[in-house]
Structure 1
Amino acid sequence: MTGGGAVYGPISSYSRVRILHLLFEAGTVESRPELTIGELCDATGLHPNTVREHLQRLIDGGYVIQSIEHRTTRGRPRVLYSAATGMPEASSPVARDKVAEAARRGDMMRRILAEEDSGLGREATYQLDALIEHLEESGFEPVIDERELTVELSPCPHAASAPEHRPTLCQVHLGLMQGVLNQAGGPLAADCVRAAARPEECTVQLRLDAA
């Protein structure tokens, strides 16, 4: 991903990766897409203060949303946490601001460089602006092939991670990228992490959905 192998942001800590993975999984359960700190502690084995610290960093980064439980009975409402997937019902104000700024900077750079239209369209171009900024903010140096719709992130700094951690890392990273694309709004989606012959290889395949 980066030449120096330094990763920042949500996937720089495997504890945060585990928390995000749990929140992404909870988001697939329509009846209960949120989790409490207690539930996250039970699932990860982490101390509540540690979980709170990780959650705050994820909220500040626009990756997690905090809400207060709506109660119909007496009792103190619980604080609930969910993954910011970029969909209308799970959108973070921080993430929205990041996407808007990415589009503004992208437009400025295109004017300076007098770049020609890629042919993908305005919405997809803004999606790529947001995705590139997200990846660069996380310490990566993405190379995007707009014709093949691939994002090259080799060499992957997670190559030395424990083999049993790699599937979760890849799944969470793909989910974060999809969240950015959803937040920007447009036809591009993060399809999959391509199978690789070597651990240091990482290529993400994008998909252009029909209008």
Structure 2
Amino acid sequence: MANLQVQARALGDPTRHKVFRAIVDGDAPLDVAHLTAEFGLNHNAIRQHLAKLVAADLVEETVAAPSGRGRPRLQYTVAPGAESRWGVTGPYERLSMWLAEAITSKETPVELGRRVGREGYRAAGASSSPIEEMVAQMSRQGFDPSVRNDGEVVEIVLGECPFASAVLVAPDTVCGVHLGLAEGAAEVIGGIEVESLSPRDPRTAHCVLRCRVVNPN
């Protein structure tokens, strides 16, 4: 993990800091084309800024799933090394704030998650399907989702658990919040219902969120 001085130097450039904030605030992983359009810079300039951010452990570079001919595009998300730093709220900070609110509001974990899921929803794109929207919400929360389709029933496999340590201590509470997050997002998205969440060992993740695509009519 890069130290604070390295990260501070990387963010010292104003444009690079704006690129970093765009990735932090993004609804889903961003690629070079998106950032080029947003900042009006050429591809090489954006790539140079991204390389500095990756080297400083502020941003992670991954290969997106293939979508047609040509090379798979690279996409960028906030790195774990940036969590709880530089204005980035880490997953345990989010969880602690939610649970503190629940103590005051006396909500159940699922009720709390539902409210947070509704309030924190960000549209992934005007042309996105309900499943793509749900995947984007789970990605924003740090669950690294992938999709298994079976007709109208869709299983979203969650490759990471951002709350793994907390789940080991209080699985019913934390998994209840997670289920509520998905249900709250589904309420806003429309056209999708959450049927169940099947937890796994949080240290290896791969919990399964089972959803059904419904006809809005």
* TM class, shorter-length: 0.3 to 0.5
When normalised by structure 2's length, the TM-score is: 0.45
When normalised by structure 1's length, the TM-score is: 0.46
Q: Which structure has greater strand proportion?
A: 2
